[in-house]
Structures are given as structure tokens and as C-alpha cells.
Structure 1
Amino acid sequence: MRYIYSVYDKKAMVYNTPFVVENPIDAVRAFSELVSDYRTTVGKYPGDFALYCVGKFSTTTGIMFLSDDDHDFPCFVHEAMEFVLKSAVGEGHEVSEPTTTLPAAGAEE
């Protein structure tokens, strides 16, 4: 099973092109990297963006799932601002640890 994520633009009120990852940790890592790059729109205006899980995808059946036992999609994951540390003007910003943690792959919850 793979996970489908999208970055939501709160100003434009649209979900950006979805991306597929092997696990939720990979999605958070990719979003964190996007936020940390001040050359991107997300990096320049982190208050305008949030990460959402929008579904799951079975690589064996090709079926996309828009809900599961735990929640319906889209499901909020992180605000971009959760990854921003205040820095001096003109220096961009650094990435911090998110305010929530996900269990390690294979770990029991």
C-alpha cells in the first residue's frame, strides 16, 4: 500500500498535484524539505500551506482508497509553519522537528 499526499494552498484554496510515497514518514520528510527551501513558494509563504493525506493506493490491485478504518480523506497532517524556525530577515529559514511524531515503520502502536 502506498500513500497519496497533497500540499494544500490556503490562499488559492486548492490542493496541488498529489504525490505518492511508500510511507507517511517519507511524505513528512518531503514536505519538510519543501518548506526549508525558501526559493519555493511554500518556503517563501509557509503560512499559506499545509500537508494532507488524500488517499491510499494499492500497488497490487490498482485500487485507490479515499477512506479507511481510521479516517476519511483528505486528512490534515501538518501546517508548513510547524517546520519553520524564526531566523533573521533575508536568511531564509531552518527546518525544525514537527510537533507530532509518527511511529517507526513496523513498530506497534
Structure 2
Amino acid sequence: MEKVRKLASEKGVMIFSKSTCCLCYAVHMLFQELGIHPYVHEIDHDPDGKEIEKALSRMGCSGPLPAVFIGGELVGSTNEVMSLHLSGSLVQLLKPYQNLS
């Protein structure tokens, strides 16, 4: 879906989320603790939310939300983000965006 690609490419760090999702909140807080202020798009507040969720699935987001994009590229959901964080790779991916907010 073009809307997903457009939003993800316009923002350095983008999280597609649902306002009631505890995993979405946890990933958002992780980024905050790392000095990143991601743009969070709550799809349950978007009239196109169902289509966005389907588009994210077609793009390869393996799990339920959140769907995290860094530099316009899909990183994945909670499992992928946490794996990157535990390996130390997430901080490297986020370096270009640490002073932006």
C-alpha cells in the first residue's frame, strides 16, 4: 500500500502501532530509552487501518503489530527489534536518528 511506504519513507524511525497493544508500547519505550523519538502511527485511529495492516503483512511483517521501519526499511515486529537490540545491532541502526526529534 502506497500510504505505508510513503509514511515509512518520510520518517526516520516509524512504528505502526495500535493504541491498545502492550508490545507496541514496549517497543516505543525501548526507542525512547535509546534516545529515539519515533513517529508512531496508531492504525486503530486511521480509517485505512485494516488495509494498512494487510499491507504490512504483504510487505513481510511476520508478527502482529508493531511494525517498525528504520530509514524507510521494514525491520520487523517485536521479535526482530528485540533480537537486534540484544545483539547490539539496533543501536547502530538508530545512530543517524538519535539527535532528530
TM-score, normalized by the shorter chain, greater than 0.5: no
Bigger radius of gyration among the two: 1
TM-score with structure 1 setting the length: 0.24
TM-score with structure 2 setting the length: 0.25
Structure (1 or 2) with the greater helix fraction: 2
Question: Which one has more relative contact order, counting CA pairs under 8 Å at least 6 apart?
Answer: 2
